[in-house]
Structure 1
Amino acid sequence: MTSHIPFRVLGVVVLAMTLIVTGDAAGKTLTMAGASPFFVAWSRFAVAAVVLLPFSGLQAAELRGFLDWRILLRGLLIATGILCILTALRTEPIANVFGGFFVGPIVAFALSALVLKERADPSRVALLLVSFGGVLLVVKPGFGMQAGMGFAVLAGCFHGSYLVATRSLAGQYRPRFLLISQLIIGAVVLLPFTLEALPQSLDPTQTGLVLISALGSAAGNFLLVLVNRTTPANVVAPLIYSQLLAATVLGGVVFGTWPDWVALLGLCVIVLSGLSSLWLAGRRLAQP
């Protein structure tokens, strides 16, 4: 049975990634229409916190968790990561942004080995280095790289760190507490930077986009918390490649933007290395 664990996990992670990309597509639509990335990021946390708080099962005894520096750091990591990716999406094609964002699994793999002392298989290290080569093809550092792609890479660094923080806390806190804590912390931290960027009013379409942005991201991250309770971070990390498929399709269908041939080659390299890492993870878990 253990040999099938990565493939069962794959379905959950693919759904999570699709929900997150859908939320980011809604956020990109808002920023392209003139909304501030600070407002879009803050509304994502605030709306999701208000909607999900009644279902979080939050208890008075758990409020002490908000004083845990690890919980605070995790909330700051995801809040900063989302702000960076929304800033990148404002000017860059969504598929390219997620290509640059894919430095995240590399960061997560390295930190899981250094901080959580999880096994760093040499063959998977080699595949992640190949994946990093794909990231470089997408980002094109030093060859016309735009500021937006720099924010995409920063977002990946923050998100990779967030994945490891989630893994380290998953056995100590309920998944619903981890979700509601990051939503509340993100909303509080971003609020001071958002006050001057609050729009006077929102029309029905903008309101719908805010809801999709908030709830899509929240649902996707909740699924990731569930997966991280039972699966090592260095196994989950390569599965994040499924974001690229959703981002490429949404970018083409919704925004009419497709990667150029160099970026497309980089995206293919990232996907193939992710699939290979998944296969290796399955082999390792299948061993007695």
Structure 2
Amino acid sequence: MSPTHSPLRGVLVAFAAYAVFAFSDASIKILHGAIPSYQVAFIGSIFGLVVLPVIKARDDSWLDIVQTSNRILWALRFVCGATGAIASIIAFTKLPMAEAFCLLFLLPSFVTILSVIFLKEDVRWQRWTAVVVGFIGVMIVLRPGFRELSAGHLAAAIGGLSAAVSIVILRAMGPAEKRISLYGAGLLGTLIVSGLLMLSDIAVPTPREWLFMASYGILGATGNVLLMTAARFAPANLVAPPQYSQMIWAIVFGYLIFDDTIDLPMAAGIVLIICSGLLTLARERKRGTPLPAAVVSVDNQAPVSATAELAEANFDGVEHPAE
């Protein structure tokens, strides 16, 4: 086995990446909304710049960050990057971590629906079943009519939908689009939009708040690099499922740090959502759709979006044989 194809190593690195992302998410929640979400997103996008040298191919120029074969889709990814980053930060600020992940894990279902509408994909009953199961799980977790829903729930749904739109854009643009351009669109979107929003209301962080914002940004960037490394070692279909280990971290952090509790209906809903996502990933593996080389998520609070892209194509753009 070549050193560039070690499935066990890739899976272990993927687990480490999602653990790092979970700690990044926890850093945001610890702030308790003391810093505006767009200011936190701006700090995160600054740290996202450190990933650019890793993404840049030898024959790429730095101007390729803003060059594209389809300006409209590039601009849409620009908007989705900013929207997803800010929305997911709001979600993790206002919701228990496990509940926020429940809604963000609807991403595969959103991708399926959007692919049918905009890409005219032929989706068979297995994937529709996964979509239905996922939404049933969300209804069990949220229990509308029996509990009050908040802006955090809406933000989490918007975060997942924004990431789904980004993935559909990747499919529409095809494998010819450069990875640095795709990543740059989301990064610049978050940097510019959140930077402009900051101008009207800039909070002065305390040393403690700086510590956790730095933790958020540094860990998010580290998680992205680890995720790309995992995709070098293992097939994408093996790198994707460990994303659901984040739910374990969310439950642990919620119990130990944030005094969150999970009742039986929520636990049942979480199981259904995870099953829905795994079923969708299993079906996606068989489609063989040509896509761009994997692009990590510029939104450190929604690493599931990175995973979904990795589930479609490997970091080096070469399909590895299924294990």
TM-score bucket of the superposed structures, by smaller chain: 0.7 to 0.9
SS at 2:83's partner residue? helix
**Residue 154 of structure 2 corresponds to residue 150 of structure 1:** yes
**Residue 39 of structure 2 corresponds to residue 35 of structure 1:** no
Match runs of 1:226-265 below 5 Å: 241-265=244-268
- Alignment check: 8 A CA contact 1:179 1:218 kept: no
Range with greater deviation from structure 2 (210-219 or 237-246): 237-246
Question: Larger % of helix: which?
Answer: 1
For residues 172-218 of structure 1, give each alpha carbon's deviation from its aligned partner in whole angstroms, at most 9, with x where no partner exists.
Answer: 33434433442222111111111233233441x43332233223334
Q: 1:238 deviation in Å? A: 7.5
Question: What is the alpha-carbon distance in structure 2 between the residues aligned to residue 251 and residue 45 of structure 1?
Answer: 26
Range with greater deviation from structure 2 (141-150 or 261-270): 141-150
Change (3 A) 1:48 1:277: closer
Q: 1:80 deviation in Å? A: 0.7
Aligned to 2:179: 175
SS at 1:196's partner residue? coil
- Alignment check: 8 A CA contact 2:85 2:190 kept: no
Aligned to 1:26: 27
Change (3 A) 1:64 1:92: closer
Range with greater deviation from structure 2 (238-247 or 191-200): 238-247
- Alignment check: 8 A CA contact 2:64 2:180 kept: no
Question: What is the alpha-carbon distance in structure 2 between the residues aligned to residue 42 and residue 112 of structure 1?
Answer: 30
Q: 1:107 deviation in Å? A: 0.7
Change (3 A) 1:7 1:74: farther
- Alignment check: 8 A CA contact 2:52 2:180 kept: no
Q: 1:129 deviation in Å? A: 0.7
- Alignment check: 8 A CA contact 1:20 1:217 kept: yes
Q: Out of 64, 67, 76, which is 1:65 matched to?
A: 67
Please report the RMSD computed on the Cα atoms of aligned residues, expressed in angstroms: 3.8
TM-score by length of 2: 0.70
- Alignment check: 8 A CA contact 1:19 1:219 kept: yes
Q: 1:259 deviation in Å? A: 2.0
Question: What is the alpha-carbon distance in structure 1 between the residues aligned to residue 255 and residue 210 of structure 2?
Answer: 24
Paired AA for residue 249 in structure 2: A
Change (3 A) 1:245 1:187: same
- Alignment check: 8 A CA contact 1:102 1:156 kept: yes
SS at 1:200's partner residue? coil
Change (3 A) 1:239 1:278: farther
Aligned residue pairs total 279
Sequence identity of aligned pairs in percent? Answer: 25
- Alignment check: 8 A CA contact 2:42 2:191 kept: yes
Match runs of 1:39-50 below 5 Å: 39-49=39-49
Question: What is the alpha-carbon distance in structure 2 between the residues aligned to residue 81 and residue 207 of structure 1?
Answer: 22
Q: 1:106 deviation in Å? A: 0.8
Change (3 A) 1:133 1:119: same
Paired AA for residue 261 in structure 1: L
Q: Out of 106, 111, 129, which is 1:108 matched to?
A: 111
Q: 1:278 deviation in Å? A: 4.3
Aligned to 1:3: none
Paired AA for residue 253 in structure 2: L
Uncovered stretches (5+) of structure 2, i.e. residues with no partner: 1-6, 289-320
Paired AA for residue 196 in structure 2: P
Change (3 A) 1:188 1:240: same
Q: 1:118 deviation in Å? A: 4.3
Change (3 A) 1:121 1:36: same
Aligned to 1:216: 219
Change (3 A) 1:122 1:238: farther
Change (3 A) 1:264 1:161: same
Q: 1:155 deviation in Å? A: 1.6
